[in-house]
C-alpha cells in the first residue's frame, strides 16, 4: 500500500480544524514546543506591525488580520484605545487599559470596568477597588508595584456580565499585556476572570485552592473583591489565597 505523503502544512491544517471542531478558541500548541528565539520574535514583531499599524487598526480593518506584538504597554495602549471591535466601544466613556508597574511580578486580572472605572479610566477605583487596595496593603504591596487589568477593557452597560463575543474580541489585548509584562504570577479575581483566562467552565469553588497556568505563568483564582463586599465571610478564603500567592512569590525570588 502506498504511504500517503502529508506535508507539515497539511498536518497543521488538520490539527487546527480538529481544534476548531472541538470548540477551542485558540490554537493549542504547548509553548515549550514552539518557544521562539528572541530573533524570531523580533522579526515577527516587525512583520506583523507592518500589516496593522496602530493608526489604521480600527479604521481600515474590521478585524486585525494578525495580532500585532508591541514593544511597550504604552505603545499597545495607544494602538488599541479607540477599539470598536464590539458594541461596548459605542457605550463606554473611557477605554480602561490597565494600571501599575510594567515590570510587575504579580498581575491581577478582574472582569470588566464598572461605572467608576469607566468614568476615571483606571481599573478598580470604585468600592471593590478600595477593597482590593486594602488586600494589597495587607500583602505589603501597593497598586504601583503590581499590575491591574481586566478581561474587558470597556464597561458592559449596567455592569452586566461580559458576553462571550466581547470576551473573545477583547482577550487578545490581555494576552498582549501578559506578554509585555511577563509577570511571575497571575491572580484572577472572580469566576469570570478565572474562567476566561483558563478557558474553562469549572466553577470558582473548584478553581480556587490550586495553581493553574496561563501561558506557562502560575495562575491562582480567588474571589472578586465585589463578592467580598456582599459576602464578607469570603474574606478568610481570599486571605488564604493571597498567602499562597505570596509564598510562591517568595520562593521565586
Ligand atoms: N470590577 C472589575 O472586575 N474590574 C474593575 O476594574 C472594577 C470592578
What is the rounded average pLDDT of the residues 21-34?
A: 31
Q: Give the model confidence (pLDDT) of 181-199 as tens digits.
A: 999 999 999 999 999 999 9
The atom of ligand 1 lying closest to the CA of 189 is 3
128 lines ligand 1 (CB under 6 A): yes
pLDDT at residue 37 in the model: 35
In the sheet where 217-222 sits, what is the strand order?
Answer: 99-100, 147-150, 106-110, 185-189, 217-222, 212-214
Domains with residue ranges and CATH for the chain: 67-252 (3.40.470.10)
Q: Are 118 and 92 in contact (CB under 8 A)?
A: yes
Q: Give the model confidence (pLDDT) of 116-144 as tens digits.
A: 999 999 999 999 999 999 999 999 999 99
Residue among 94, 108, 113 whose CB has most ligand 1 atoms within 8 A, to mutate: 113
98 lines ligand 1 (CB under 6 A): no
What is the rounded average pLDDT of the residues 167-178?
A: 98
124 lines ligand 1 (CB under 6 A): yes
pLDDT at residue 66 in the model: 73
* pLDDT bucket at 65, cuts 50 / 70 / 90: low
Nearest to 169 by CA among 64, 49, 73: 64
Judged against a pLDDT cut of 60, whether residue 201 lies above it is answered with yes
* pLDDT bucket at 86, cuts 50 / 70 / 90: very high
Amino acid at each position: 500500500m502506498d504511504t500517503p505523503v502529508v506535508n507539515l502544512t497539511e498536518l497543521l491544517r488538520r490539527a487546527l480544524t480538529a481544534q476548531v471542531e472541538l470548540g477551542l478558541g485558540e490554537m493549542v500548541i504547548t509553548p515549550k514546543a514552539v518557544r521562539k528565539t528572541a530573533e524570531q520574535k523580533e522579526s515577527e514583531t516587525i512583520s506583523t506591525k507592518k500589516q496593522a499599524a496602530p493608526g489604521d487598526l480600527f479604521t481600515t480593518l474590521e478585524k486585525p488580520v494578525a495580532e500585532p506584538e508591541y514593544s511597550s504597554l504604552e505603545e499597545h495602549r495607544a494602538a488599541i484605545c479607540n477599539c470598536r471591535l464590539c458594541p461596548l466601544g459605542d457605550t463606554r466613556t473611557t477605554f480602561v487599559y490597565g494600571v501599575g508597574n510594567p515590570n510587575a511580578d504579580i498581575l491581577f486580572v478582574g472582569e470588566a470596568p464598572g461605572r467608576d472605572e469607566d468614568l476615571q479610566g483606571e481599573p478598580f477605583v470604585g468600592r471593590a477597588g478600595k477593597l482590593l487596595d486594602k488586600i494589597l496593603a495587607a500583602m505589603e504591596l501597593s497598586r504601583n508595584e503590581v499590575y491591574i487589568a481586566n478581561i474587558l477593557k470597556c464597561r458592559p452597560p449596567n455592569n452586566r456580565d461580559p458576553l462571550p463575543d466581547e470576551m473573545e474580541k477583547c482577550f487578545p489585548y490581555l494576552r498582549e499585556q501578559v506578554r509585555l509584562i511577563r509577570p511571575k504570577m497571575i491572580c484572577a479575581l472572580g469566576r469570570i476572570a478565572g474562567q476566561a483566562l483558563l478557558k474553562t467552565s469549572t466553577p470558582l469553588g473548584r478553581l480556587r485552592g490550586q495553581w493553574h497556568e496561563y501561558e506557562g505563568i502560575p495562575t491562582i483564582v480567588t474571589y472578586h473583591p465585589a463578592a467580598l463586599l456582599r459576602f464578607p465571610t469570603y474574606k478568610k478564603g481570599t486571605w488564604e489565597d493571597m498567602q499562597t500567592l505570596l509564598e510562591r512569590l517568595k520562593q521565586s525570588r
